[in-house]
């Protein structure tokens, strides 16, 4: 266990650090909202712009895949050029491409703009952890990192609710376009505040770009995710399996390249030393599985409620309100008391509670199929409480032992892992849903997705044994 002693000669902490944390959290929330709104907005987009099931998956997966691919490099850019500067560049790009998404005339243009929006987010988001790590004194870091979990959990659930409300509002006849255009005023306000309050920070040692590493990790992730999204519509030709198999050696070469660069004194894209810490390597495994299940389920739930029972976008979004309430309750309990006192067991217990809530959704589908949405409220509330218990201590446990020189790489890799999980979840669970719906109908297809998600959440709980018991018990 590590301990921290106060240095009486150290400079006083940055006075506006809590305001800076708010700016970082707003950026995180905007990103997560855009990653989760597609399940509600997709049917409206499809009616206006056209396209099939694969188009819906690519509107979601194009964003998360581009985000995952760019995050590893994005984290390093802050170390090299300054985290405040790169944060502002990423935020500006995010606002611009959000506006272009809202103005897209065709599905192809929308998907392309979503990819660019994801790349801008990949530049923006990794800087947040580094800014917080360099701005807060050690005794306040737990509270600062603890705010990320609840904010991200509520944003993930709140995205569909916001999307439904905006589409129903139909401001100026914009319909689904407001889901993306809403980022413009929020982003501009965040940009103005960031210019005033964010301090500059960068890595302690000079970092250099790694173009070969960037090319390898990009190729590896594309080889893995592209066939997952596209394979179902094409009938799973042989080349889709070849691509997925080829991803393994390509990512293996990337890992070898990173170790070689580190040993020769050159700056790697991903610091191999990060994976010597049990908290970080274990957190990667847990995050990949958990966020895959969570994001994929939110996409399918929004689609099922509109394509199955025939709910409007607003009603489909409001169905998730009990889940959002549960996240708030669970995250508050975990973040303020349970997580800090008991650590990892709370995270694992939260995953079990969430899986139980998902099983409750399956039971509800059989006993009282949703006609108003309220039938699902008890099970959704339980699922939300479990998710809140899980996510509140997660980032504190995983990142607490990362030193400042590596925080850019660590935040980029951890966020990339989360977004890669989301992209895989959208691809896999979306494919399971549409494939099963074709042969068995919407209800049975949704039930299969629920059971797969519950299994993924429980797998995350099992993998959490790789984590230290508490945030301060780092290797």
pLDDT digits (tens, 9 = 90+) for 109-143: 999 999 999 899 988 988 887 888 888 887 887 77
Distances in Å between the alpha carbon of 121 and those of 298, 392, 425? 20, 22, 19
Q: What is the pLDDT of residues 411-433, one digit of tens each?
A: 667 777 877 787 788 778 888 89
pLDDT at 408: 59
Q: What is the mean pLDDT of residues 361-378?
A: 89
Tokens 């959000």 map to which residue? 98
Measure the CA angle with vertex 452, ends 449 and 458; round to 5°.
Answer: 140
Most confident of 53-67, 232-246, 375-389: 375-389
| Average of per-residue pLDDT values in the chain | 84
Is the pLDDT confidence value at 3 over 50? no
pLDDT at 122: 86
Q: What is the mean pLDDT of residues 309-325?
A: 88
DSSP-assigned letter for residue 201: -
Contact 294, 428 (CB under 8 A): no
Helices vs strands, H then E, count in the chain: 20, 0
Contact 186, 16 (CB under 8 A): no
pLDDT at 1: 35
Of the candidates 379, 378, 338, the residue with the CA atom closest to the CA atom of residue 356: 379
Pairwise pLDDT comparison (12 vs 451), residue with the higher score: 451
pLDDT at 11: 63
Of the candidates 157, 37, 44, 58, the residue with the CA atom closest to the CA atom of residue 426: 58
Q: What is the mean pLDDT of residues 17-30?
A: 91
Rounded-to-integer distance, Cα 342 and Cα 347, Å:
9
pLDDT > 70: what percent of the chain? 91
Contact 116, 201 (CB under 8 A): no
Work out the end-to-end distance of the chain between its first and last CA atoms, rounded to an integer number of angstroms: 8
Pairwise pLDDT comparison (469 vs 99), residue with the higher score: 99
Q: What is the mean pLDDT of residues 260-273?
A: 82
Q: What is the pLDDT of residues 331-356, one digit of tens each?
A: 888 877 787 777 788 889 999 999 99
What is the architecture of the domain spanning 17-199+269-466?
A: Up-down Bundle (1.20)
Is the pLDDT confidence value at 317 over 90? no
372 confidence band (pLDDT: 50, 70, 90)? confident
231 confidence band (pLDDT: 50, 70, 90)? confident
Q: What is the pLDDT of residues 170-196, one digit of tens each?
A: 888 889 999 999 999 999 999 999 999
pLDDT at 5: 43
298 confidence band (pLDDT: 50, 70, 90)? confident
* Lowest model confidence (mean pLDDT) among 75-84, 100-109, 320-329: 75-84
pTM more than 0.85: no
214 confidence band (pLDDT: 50, 70, 90)? confident
303 confidence band (pLDDT: 50, 70, 90)? confident
* Lowest model confidence (mean pLDDT) among 75-79, 341-345, 355-359: 75-79
Contact 48, 175 (CB under 8 A): yes
Three-state DSSP class for residue 1: coil
pLDDT at 73: 76
Is the pLDDT confidence value at 207 over 60? no
93 confidence band (pLDDT: 50, 70, 90)? very high
Q: What is the mean pLDDT of residues 254-262?
A: 90
SS3 labels along 164-183: HHHHHHCHHHCHHHHHHHCH
- For 326, the token pair is 């549960």
66 confidence band (pLDDT: 50, 70, 90)? confident
Strands (E), 335-460: none
**Cβ atoms < 10 Å from Cβ of 200:** 11
405 confidence band (pLDDT: 50, 70, 90)? low
Rounded-to-integer distance, Cα 432 and Cα 409, Å:
34
The domains of the chain are located at 17-199+269-466, 211-268
């Amino acid at each position: 266990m590590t301990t921290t002693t106060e240095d009486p000669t150290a400079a006083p902490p940055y006075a506006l650090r809590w305001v800076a944390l708010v700016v970082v959290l707003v950026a995180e929330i905007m990103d997560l909202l855009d990653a989760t709104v597609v399940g509600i907005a997709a049917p409206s987009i499809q009616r206006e712009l056209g396209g099939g099931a694969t188009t819906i998956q690519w509107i979601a997966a194009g964003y998360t895949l581009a985000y995952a691919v760019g995050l590893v490099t994005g984290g390093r850019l802050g170390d090299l050029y300054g985290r405040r500067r790169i944060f502002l560049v990423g935020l500006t790009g995010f606002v611009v491409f959000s506006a272009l998404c809202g103005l897209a005339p065709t599905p192809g243009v929308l998907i392309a703009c979503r990819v660019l929006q994801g790349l801008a987010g990949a530049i923006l988001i990794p800087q947040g952890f580094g800014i917080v790590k360099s701005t807060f004194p050690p005794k306040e870091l737990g509270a600062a990192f603890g705010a990320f979990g609840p904010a991200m959990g509520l944003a993930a659930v709140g995205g569909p609710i916001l999307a439904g409300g905006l589409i129903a509002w139909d401001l100026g006849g914009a319909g689904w376009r407001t889901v993306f255009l809403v980022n413009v005023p929020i982003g501009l306000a965040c940009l103005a505040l960031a210019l005033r309050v964010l301090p500059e920070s960068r890595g302690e040692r000079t970092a250099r770009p790694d173009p070969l590493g960037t090319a390898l990790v990009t190729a590896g992730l594309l080889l893995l995710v592209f066939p997952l999204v596209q394979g179902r519509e094409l009938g799973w030709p042989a080349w889709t399996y070849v691509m997925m198999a080829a991803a393994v050696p390509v990512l293996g070469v990337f890992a070898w390249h990173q170790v070689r660069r580190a040993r020769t004194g050159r700056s790697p894209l991903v610091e191999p030393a990060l994976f010597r810490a049990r908290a970080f390597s274990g957190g990667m495994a847990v995050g990949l599985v958990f966020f895959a299940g969570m994001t994929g389920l939110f996409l399918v739930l929004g689609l099922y409620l509109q394509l199955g029972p025939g709910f409007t976008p607003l009603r489909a979004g409001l169905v998730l309100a009990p889940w959002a309430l549960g996240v708030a309750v669970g995250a508050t309990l975990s973040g303020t008391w349970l997580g800090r006192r008991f650590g990892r067991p709370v995270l694992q217990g939260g995953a079990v509670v969430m899986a139980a809530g998902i099983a409750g959704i399956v039971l509800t589908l059989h006993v009282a199929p949703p006609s108003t949405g309220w039938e699902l409220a008890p099970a959704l509330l339980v699922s939300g409480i479990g998710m809140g218990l899980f996510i509140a201590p997660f980032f504190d446990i995983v990142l607490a032992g990362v030193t400042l020189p590596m925080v850019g790489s660590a935040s980029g890799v951890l966020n990339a892992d989360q977004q890669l999980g989301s992209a895989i979840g959208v691809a896999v669970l979306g494919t399971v849903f549409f494939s099963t719906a074709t042969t068995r109908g919407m209800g049975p297809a949704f039930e299969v997705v629920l059971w797969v998600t519950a299994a993924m959440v429980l797998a995350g709980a099992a993998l959490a044994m790789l984590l230290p018991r508490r945030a301060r018990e780092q290797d």
